[in-house]
Structure 1
Amino acid sequence: MQTTHLLLITLYLLVMVGIGLYHSRSSKIRTGEDFLFAGRSLPTPVMVATLVVTWVGSGTIIGGANFAYNYGPVAGMVFFAGTPLGILVLLLAARRIRRAARHTVPELLEARFGAGVRTVAAVVTALAYVGLVASQFVGGGYVLALITPLTTTQGALIVAGVVTVLTVTGGLFSVAYTDFVSAVLVLSALIVAVPLVLVALGGLPVYWEGLPETSRTPTGGLSPLQLLGYFLPLFLLLLGDQNLYQRLAAAKDERSARNSTLGMLFASFLVFVPVIILATSASVIMPDINGDESVLRLASEGHLPTLIGGLLLAGAVAFVITTGSSFMLSAASNIAFDLFARFGGDKAGERGTLVVQRLSVVAIALIAIALGLYFPTVLDLQMYSYTIYGAAITPAVLAVLFWKRATTAGAVAALVVGTAVTIGWQVLGAPGGFNGVIVALPAAVLALVVASLLTRAPSTRALEAAGVD
């Protein structure tokens, strides 16, 4: 255990909690809207930071690192390619998303497809996001277990407590500004760590020759269809991610939303390229470890200078905490706005909705802890959660934005079929070694198209009501 590492992470956690408590002041957060959208006042630098750090949690530095460690740098680039490609598509829709400015994605779907679709989508979204919160807790547990005598489970419980406190206290105000601090820390640590590790290995030629033979191939030993099964969940989640939609809705105006998306595109390369290089370097230096821990062990076991290693570990905790807070906040908004407010919550008023959001955060934390004990790795957990959301929600969201012929029946069919096939595929044990998205996405899209074409086209009024026509 490195005392320096522990001190840096402890200092980081104290700073994060301090920011959360500062932004919990009643003068800043009076309503559920303030809690979710930070008063729609976030400046562009903070917007860019919160978009990037919201997206690149333990799924990047732990789950994505695991993939790169096992399958190599080229396959790792394919895995992460869903991020920039998804951002490019999101860039086309950024102004529409800001203009629509709904509390949640299910609320956006309701404007186009009706209240029933909103309820189904809220349940599916909360189900997927609880899984993503769980992956952050497990990832944080890995970090703390590496540098302290704690077990992974004990570390996960501590991270869960910090994430819950941050989210309950300040909502998006605290989440966004802790994201800004975390983004500076994470990017600095990753950018500095890469050349240090490559120099320690003896340069790029030694690094490349030291990789396992299959890791030097374009697919890392996977079939093209298997590789596609890892690319699609990340890509699809980003296209319809409620977290990102809510961040764009929190921008000051449409121009700020678009500029923030451009900033996210550039900054994403500064994250996933270093992660790929570091994880694959770890496969050369430490060929027999758990891939989930590849980047973390470079930092914790003396392969980097102590200070840089400590910053990288603190950056990993930053990933986990900020992303966990974001998904927790987003899932709580589904419960408060899509379920509670719709089924009898109007009488409670804005303050009542705020209380429900905060209570929902605590409930989500408890469920996520239980779910995190079920899945063996962060990569398994994130693929399952990404697929539920990407296969079920994203087709319906893209239909709202880009396909006027989609109908309520089509949206319901996509939601039900995408979710059912994903869960069924997981229960069957992923036959053939393929991730569920390979079958769930085509099934959901087919259900959307067929059911829409078999029912009456929506009216012009319905399209205008969605705010994205």
Structure 2
Amino acid sequence: MQIVIIAAYLLFVCVFGVYIMRKLVKDSDDFMVAGRSLSKAVLAGTLLATFVGSGTIVGGASFVFQYGPFAGIFFFLGTPIGVLILYFWLADKVRVAARYTVPEILEIRYGKAARAVAALIILFAFIGITSYQFIGGGKVLHITTGIPEWQATLIAAAIIIFLATIGGLVSVAYTDFISAIFILVSLIAAVPLILSQTGGLDGMIAALPEAKQTITGGLTVPQMLGYFLPLFLLLLGDQNVYQRFSAAENPRTARTAAIGFFVGSVLTIGIILVLAASAAVLLPEIDPATAVLSLANQKLPVLLGGMLLAAAVAIIITTGNSYLLSASANLMYDLYGSLLGRTVAPERRLMFDRLAVVGLGVLAYALGTFFPTILALQMYSYTMYGAAITPALLAALVWRKATPAGGLAAILTGGVATLVWELALGKPLGWNSVLFALPCSVAVLVIVSLATATRENEERATRAIAGAR
């Protein structure tokens, strides 16, 4: 029954994606930013479905399983805080700017070199995020079908690449909207049945090991910050989120959708905290990465368990095809178009966009073989983006004293520092690389900008910031 439900969902989204593609995708603008026509409800749904992916249902659940629900609150807290900042500060600015990619926004303040470097870093980060969606999807299919995990991962990758290729953002957005509803209904329905097996919320918490009942879960403060900051920084500067705001009907729609995103993210995160912590009580010997998936497979009625597993697939697919699509925009618009100075005829641009999606999907599948766990790949990808891109991006939008030299130096420093900490130094003290890369990036941004500030640059920055309002 579970296999049937999952297969039915996959068939539905594929058929629906093809229908939307045939009906609405006419050119590259439709493919990349949905013709800038998304309504409030569809935009809120696609924001939620995109950001709550394998990093939540697998990576985040793994964290909660290992360290407890209270530590998990701190882990996930970056999402609602980031959404509030987007609502009060950034959503309307991004819609008015109306760009395809974040490097385009950076170019306005920092020049072409910053755009090229940022595009390369975002490609590295987003290929990593796409990669762990493939792995997460493979885990679901492996649990439900028993086929070898590598084959299941390959199938998940093929489905994600297919959906991203056929319809672009306009297709992804509408399938996301439906998936978001399905996800929330399935998760909400599962909670009372699981808590009835743990003696309620209080019984579940009391049955946890003592360390998992603490606010830190046995982690040090630097370790906790190392898990909190990557997700928070990614959300604040996430090109995927910015592209969706750019696809809104107007700036007011973008801000209203941020409210729906906030409510949906808080509800989803709260349920994942409960389910993953319950798995630690009911199924303490399982692989932490399968916490929610194993609950669905072993502790729920077949129909609801199948729905929850299909919801997990929905979460993973919607996030995977979104990040894959977003990375293809960097490849085509920032690198092939801007850096190399190549132009594509309008009638051929859509074909090139689709070829880029397929090529990047293959790279994402290959990258997944180099990281031992989804949580490790998640932290690397988030930090690569959050430390290198977010400080320079926020400064470009709100800080008049940021200079081209400062922005470019910050982007380079954040990216290099992440690689040095992860690869060359092997994560000293067990700290995630964000604790090293972020301070380096921010310090370089401030120091170099102040050292190279001119009155002409500040006047140009004032005009650029005003244009984003």
TM-score above 0.5: yes
Deviations 1:349-370 (A, max 9, x none): 2233322211111111111111
Q: Report the identity percentage.
A: 49
For 2:463, the equivalent position in structure 1 comes to 464
Q: Secondary structure at the match of 1:373?
A: helix
Distance apart, 1:162 and its partner CA: 0.7
SS for the counterpart of 2:345 is: helix
The aligned counterpart of 1:44 is 40
* Match among 13, 25, 39 for residue 10 of structure 2: 13
Of the structure 1 ranges 197-206 and 430-439, higher mean CA displacement relative to structure 2 is found in 197-206
Letter in 2 for 1:283: A
Partner SS for 2:344: helix
> Is structure 2 residue 283 aligned with structure 1 residue 294?
no
Structure 2: gaps spanning 5 or more residues: none
What CA distance in whole angstroms lies between the structure 2 residues aligned with 1:461 and 1:415?
20
Aligned to 1:221: 218
8 Å contact kept, 2:116–2:339:
no
Q: CA deviation at 1:344?
A: 5.3
CA contact (8 A) 2:61 2:272 kept: yes
Structure 2 match to 1:30:
26
Q: Is the 8 A contact 2:401 2:461 kept in 1?
A: no
Task: Name the residue aligned to 2:301.
Answer: 305
> Which segment drifts farther, 343-352 or 207-216?
343-352
Q: For the residues of structure 1 that align with 2:348 and 2:157, how far apart are their CA atoms?
A: 25
Pairing 1:270–2:247 present: no
Q: Which residue of 2 aligns with 1:359?
A: 355
* Structure 1: tracts of 5 or more residues without a match: none
- Find the counterpart in structure 2 of residue 76 from structure 1: 72
Alpha-carbon displacement from aligned partner over 1:411-430 (angstroms, at most 9, x marks no partner): 11111111111111111221
The match for 1:143 is 140
8 Å CA contact retained: 1:345, 1:353: no
Native 8 Å contact 2:50 2:319 kept in 1: yes
1:57-136 equivalences in 2 (<5 Å): 57-91=53-87, 92-136=89-133
Query: Does the 8 A contact of 2:50 with 2:322 survive in 1?
Result: yes
The aligned residue for residue 413 of structure 1 is 409
Cα offset, 1:153, TM superposition = 1.3
Matched with 1:193 is 190
Choose which of 260, 273, 279 in structure 1 pairs with 2:257: 260
Q: Which residue of 1 aligns with 2:326?
A: 330
Matched-pair contact (CA < 8 Å) for 1:388–1:419 = yes
The one-letter code matched in structure 1 to 2:399 is W
1:177 to 174, 178, 184: 174
Distance 1:340 1:23 in 2: 28
Counterpart residue type for residue 468 of structure 1: A
Separation in 2, partners of 1:5, 1:34: 35
Q: What letter is aligned with 1:198? A: L
The answer for the alignment partner of 2:445 in structure 1 is 448
- Shift of the alpha carbon at 1:165? 0.8
**Cα offset, 1:43, TM superposition:** 1.2
* Partner Cα separation in structure 1 for residue 461 and residue 397 of structure 2: 13
Q: 1: CA distance between counterparts of 2:272 and 2:68?
A: 12
- The 1-side partners of 2:202 and 2:393 are apart by 45
Please identify, of 314-323 and 425-434, the stretch whose mean Cα deviation from structure 2 is larger: 425-434
Q: What's the TM-score once normalised by structure 2's chain length?
A: 0.97
Q: 1:347 to 1:334 in 2, by over 3 A?
A: closer
Q: 1:379-398, aligned counterparts within 5 Å?
A: 379-398=375-394
- Please, what TM-score do these two structures have when normalized by structure 1? 0.97
Residues 401, 458 of structure 2: 8 Å contact kept: no
Q: How far apart, in 2, do the equivalents of 1:264 and 1:251 lie?
A: 14
Please give the alpha-carbon distance, in whole angstroms, between the structure 2 residues aligned to 1:421 and 1:55: 25
Aligned length: 464
Give how far 1:346 is off: 5.2
Aligned AA for 2:315? F
Q: Is the 8 A contact 2:195 2:204 kept in 1?
A: yes
Compute the displacement of 1:341 (Å): 1.6
Amino acid corresponding to residue 104 of structure 1 in structure 2: T
- 3-state SS in 1 of match to 2:116: helix
Query: Which amino acid letter does the alignment assign opposite residue 369 of structure 1?
Result: Y
C-alpha distance after superposition, 1:241-261 (max 9, x if no partner): 000000000000111000000
| Corresponding residue SS for 2:124 | helix
Is the 1:30–1:351 Cα contact (8 Å) retained in structure 2?
A: no
d(CA) in 1 for partners of 2:210 and 2:401?
A: 49
Distance apart, 1:448 and its partner CA = 0.5
**Alpha-carbon distance in 1 for matches of 2:43, 2:264:** 12
Contact 2:112 2:339 in 1 (8 A): no
The alpha carbon displacement at 1:93 in A equals 0.9
- How far residue 459 of structure 1 moved from its aligned partner, in angstroms, is 4.1
Cα distance in 2 for partners of 1:237, 1:111 equals: 21
Q: Structure 1 stretch 451-460 or stretch 257-266: which is displaced more?
A: 451-460
| Residues 392, 418 of structure 1: 8 Å contact kept | yes
**d(CA) in 1 for partners of 2:70 and 2:339?**
49
Contact 1:113–1:411 (CA under 8 A) maintained in structure 2: yes
- Once the two structures are TM-superposed, the CA of residue 158 in structure 1 deviates from its matched residue by 0.5
Where 2:38 maps in the other structure, the secondary structure is coil
Which amino acid in 2 is paired with 1:141?
Answer: G
Give the RMSD, CA atoms, in angstroms: 1.2
User: Partners in 2 of 1:19 and 1:412 — Cα distance?
Assistant: 42
Write the letter of the residue equivalent to 1:29: V
Whether the 8 Å CA contact 1:400–1:468 is kept in 2: the answer is: no
Cross-structure match for 2:313: 317
Distance 1:117 1:394, change over 3 A: same
Cα distance change on mapping 1:121 and 1:286 into 2, 3 Å:
same
State the distance in 2 between where 1:407 and 1:290 align. Answer: 48
Once the two structures are TM-superposed, the CA of residue 343 in structure 1 deviates from its matched residue by: 4.4
What residue identity is the alignment partner of 1:411? G
Instruction: Judge conservation of contact 2:125–2:385 (CA < 8 Å) in 1.
Output: yes
Offset from partner CA, 1:285-329 (integer Å, 9 cap, x none): 11122110000000112x111111111100100011000010000
- Within 5 Å, give how 1:232-271 maps onto structure 2: 232-271=229-268
Amino acid of the residue matched to residue 232 of structure 2? F
Runs of 4+ in 1 over 3 A off after TM superposition: 343-347
> Secondary structure of the equivalent of 1:348?
coil
- 2:278 maps to what in 1? 281
